[in-house]
Structure 1
Amino acid sequence: MTEAREWHKSSYSNGNNASCVEVAEGQTVLVRDTQNRTLGHLEYSADAWAAFLRDVKDGHL
């Protein structure tokens, strides 16, 4: 059975709705483009997502 996910707008998205990223957190983290939801999502381990956010916050990306 597929885990139900609650999607939310990423706090890293800017205020422009045309440039939003949505995230669903759980055992894995799902990421999708708000404007193209039907195209699917990318899936990351929780550790990989946390490392990505750290790098963004620290200005490495």
Structure 2
Amino acid sequence: MENAPLELQAKIYPMTLKEEEELNTFIDENLKSGRIWISKSQYAAPCFFIPKKDRSK
């Protein structure tokens, strides 16, 4: 992607403190298990929290 733009305009979605803590826990657990790894890409994808009907994690 030689001609890829250096910056993309994207909307930032705010998270609650609880959502941020849950996301950090998810990332830490999955980094340690090797399911995900740190990327050096200049692009990122958003994540969304969808609550379960029974309110469990």
Category of TM-score, reference length = shorter chain: 0.3 to 0.5
Structure with greater proportional helix content: 1
> Normalised by the size of structure 1, how large is the TM-score?
0.33
More contact order relative to length (CA 8 Å, sep ≥ 6): 2
Structure with greater proportional strand content: 1
> Normalised by the size of structure 2, how large is the TM-score?
0.35
